[in-house]
């Protein structure tokens, strides 16, 4: 996956940097929130149920910063697109890990480690020219 960003106009949220549309960012944020509520790790079946609820529009979202009595909205996102455009890129970037033996997904710190490695690679590259 390719991440395009402007170093002088960085969005506040990592989701806005990684995903190209607001809806994708919202779905990814919902997924990570759901995983964190379940101890940072969910099973393959739970992931499928989350994707199905999202597909059926059964996930209720309340906008951040809204008053308590404001209307809540249901969020809907195609199940196939969820796997193709949300989960697969998050796994590829290291935001989420999948354990094949335990068949679980978990929130990962690998993205941070990879970004540090990219930064160090750039430092080595610029140090070669001196």
**Residue 66 — very low, low, confident or very high, per pLDDT cuts 50/70/90?**
low
Q: Where are the domains of the chain?
A: 14-128
- Interval 67-72 mean pLDDT: 64
Name the pTM for this structure.
0.85
What count of other Cβ atoms lies within 10 Å of the Cβ of residue 88?
Answer: 13
d(CA 128, CA 130): 6
Strand segments, DSSP code E, in the chain are 41-43, 59-61, 73-75, 96-99, 104-107
User: And the tokens for 90?
Assistant: 């998050």
**Long-range interactions of 49-52: CB distance < 8 A, separation 24+:** 51/79, 51/82, 51/83, 51/87, 52/79
14-128 placed in CATH 3.40.50: no
Q: What percent of the chain has pLDDT above 70?
A: 91
Residue 28 has pLDDT above 80, yes or no: yes
Q: Are strands 41-43 and 59-61 parallel, antiparallel or unpaired?
A: unpaired
Q: Is the per-residue pLDDT at 117 higher than 60? A: yes
- Beta bridge mates, 73: 61
Instruction: Please give the DSSP secondary-structure letter assigned to residue 92.
Output: H
């Amino acid at each position: 996956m390719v991440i395009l960003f402007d170093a002088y106009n960085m969005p506040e949220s990592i989701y806005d940097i990684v995903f190209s549309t607001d809806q994708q960012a919202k779905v990814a944020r919902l997924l990570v929130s759901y995983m964190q509520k379940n101890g940072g790790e969910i099973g393959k079946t739970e992931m499928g149920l989350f994707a199905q609820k999202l597909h059926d529009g059964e996930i209720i979202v309340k906008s951040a910063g809204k008053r308590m009595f404001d209307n809540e909205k249901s969020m809907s996102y195609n199940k196939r697109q969820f796997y193709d455009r949300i989960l697969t890129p998050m796994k590829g970037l290291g935001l989420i890990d999948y354990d094949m033996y335990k068949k679980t997904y978990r929130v990962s710190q690998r993205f941070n480690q990879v970004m540090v490695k990219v930064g160090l690679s750039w430092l080595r590259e610029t140090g070669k020219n001196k």
